[in-house]
């Protein structure tokens, strides 16, 4: 596992408009689940359009630790052979740093009948329990053993059996993980109140191409009829809708006909609606968006929700826009606790924000932000600090850029090509 180094971003704020194009890479969340799904079969799996980000590198290390053979067949393509996967215990050091490691539990349990893993890590954005995963496995006939003050888990099942599972919260990762496990379970599994994100439908299509029998993915009810074995398959990673949304927000802040390309505008309609209500000028194509900064921003109220609502992963970048709106705006985070902690850094930059509680904030704008030194606490907040620094007066320094590299491939190079003054420094 790569050690977190001392790299930092040095950013010079400017009122200069950004032009040209910003290409969107493959979806982090979709790619990570496809990598996990490769464990379900002993046949070769090809994954294309892979984003070259740290989370993907960590997942690759986990798969190789388990015994999978991974060959790079192109700049963004892997050929995965998991026929030799015999280990059922995840590498604890890597798994503790990667929230998506929990997605491997379903495939390993279905394939080997047992899996051991630590409480998964990742971004520090409040409580992210895994009880829905554990309860789902238990309903499918597995036994859960908890050790180490509730931080280490072993799950065993001679054979998973189909079950009806209702998610009290529409969890994306729980939906995906149990859906993968159910593909090799005996009988029919029905997932109710399932998450409806586009990545879930993409994963289901991939599983079906390998011989699975999944129906309803992308809706609130998913039906999986288990099969005995899955075959080979190819997964084309779709564009990352959160990255596309982040770049679109940047275009609203500083764009002069800035084009976000290789994206899927239909996947970020909620964001587009909010931007247009603020007065942002947007043009849409099948796989591109063109964005320009308006003369001024109107205030707006934002409430995060599960897809197709406003994405929780975009509320932090969007907050930078709220600091620039004329009037009073509000932000209501309904998905995670503690996800508004980054706002304290925006306040230190000059933003006029009242934190009402762990979920709500009120923005008074328009305010002038000033450059300062910060540390990226998590992936989305790190990107937020980049956006804030680009519109701030003076120089900003952002430390712990590993957290940004986890989800954004060479972000500084793409931004610099559009005219941003950003450098990576050791």
**Residues with catalytic annotation?**
123
* Rounded to 5°, angle at Cα 155 from 168 and 166: 15
Buried b / exposed e along 134-144 (16+ C-beta atoms within 10 A): bbbbebbbbee
Closest CA to 84 of 153, 38, 147: 38
Closest CA to 236 of 218, 211, 215, 262: 262
> Structure tokens of 108?
């390993």
- Helix, strand or coil for residue 68? coil
- Beta pairing class for 327-332 and 288-292: unpaired
Closest CA to 243 of 226, 216, 262, 224: 262
Q: Which helix (H) or strand (E) holds 154?
A: strand 152-156
Q: What is the DSSP string of 87-138?
A: --B--HHHHTT-GGGGGGHHHHHHHHSEEEEEPP-----S----HHHHHHHH
Cα–Cα distance, 361 to 304 (Å, whole number): 12
Cα–Cα distance, 392 to 385 (Å, whole number): 10
- Helix, strand or coil for residue 23? strand
Give how far the C-alpha of residue 263 lies from the chain's centroid of Cα atoms, to the nearest Å. 15
Closest CA to 115 of 155, 61, 158: 155
Please give the radius of gyration of the chain, using alpha carbons only, rounded to the nearest integer. Answer: 21
- Residue linked to tokens 């984003």: 51
Q: What is the DSSP string of 366-392?
A: ----B--EEE--SHHHHHHHHHHHHHS
User: Helix-strand-coil percent breakdown of the chain, rounded to 5?
Assistant: 35, 25, 40
Cα–Cα distance, 106 to 66 (Å, whole number): 14
Cα–Cα distance, 407 to 396 (Å, whole number): 21
């Amino acid at each position: 596992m790569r050690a977190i180094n001392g790299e930092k971003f040095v950013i010079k704020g400017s009122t200069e408009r950004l032009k040209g194009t910003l290409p969107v890479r493959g979806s982090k969340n979709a790619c990570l689940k496809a990598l996990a799904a490769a464990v379900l079969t002993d046949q070769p799996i090809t994954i294309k359009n892979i984003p070259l980000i740290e989370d993907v590198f960590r997942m690759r290390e986990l798969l190789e630790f388990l015994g999978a053979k991974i060959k790079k067949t192109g700049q963004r393509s892997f050929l995965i052979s998991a026929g030799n996967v015999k280990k059922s215990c995840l590498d604890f050091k890597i798994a503790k740093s990667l929230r998506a490691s929990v997605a491997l539990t379903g495939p390993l349990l279905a394939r080997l009948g047992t899996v051991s893993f630590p409480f998964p890590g990742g971004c520090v954005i409040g409580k992210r329990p895994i009880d829905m995963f554990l309860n789902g496995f238990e309903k499918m006939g597995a036994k859960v053993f908890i050790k180490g003050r509730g931080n280490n888990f072993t799950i065993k099942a001679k054979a998973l059996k189909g079950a009806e599972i209702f998610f009290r919260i529409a969890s994306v990762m729980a939906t995906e993980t149990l859906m993968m496990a159910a593909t090799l379970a005996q009988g029919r599994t029905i997932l109710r109140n399932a998450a409806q994100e586009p990545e879930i439908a993409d994963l289901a299509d991939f599983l079906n191409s390998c011989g699975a029998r999944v129906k309803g993915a992308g809706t609130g009810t998913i039906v999986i009829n288990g099969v005995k074995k899955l075959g080979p398959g190819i997964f084309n990673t779709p564009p990352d809708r959160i990255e596309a949304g982040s770049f679109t927000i940047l275009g609203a802040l500083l764009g002069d006909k800035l084009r976000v390309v290789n994206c899927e505008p239909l996947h970020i309609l909620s964001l587009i609606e909010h931007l247009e209500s603020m007065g942002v000028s947007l043009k849409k194509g099948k796989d591109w968006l063109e964005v320009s900064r308006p003369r001024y921003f109107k205030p707006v109220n934002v409430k995060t929700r599960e897809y197709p609502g406003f994405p929780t992963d975009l509320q932090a970048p969007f907050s930078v826009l709220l600091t620039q709106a004329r009037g009073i705006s509000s932000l209501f985070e309904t998905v995670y606790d503690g996800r508004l902690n980054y706002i304290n850094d925006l306040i230190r930059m000059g933003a006029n924000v009242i934190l009402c509680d762990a979920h709500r904030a009120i923005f008074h704008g328009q305010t002038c932000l000033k450059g300062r030194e910060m540390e990226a606490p998590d992936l989305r907040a790190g990107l937020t600090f980049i956006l804030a620094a680009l519109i701030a007066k003076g120089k900003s320094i952002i430390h712990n850029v590993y957290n940004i590299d986890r989800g954004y491939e060479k972000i500084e190079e793409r931004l610099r090509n559009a005219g941003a003054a950003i450098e990576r420094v050791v």
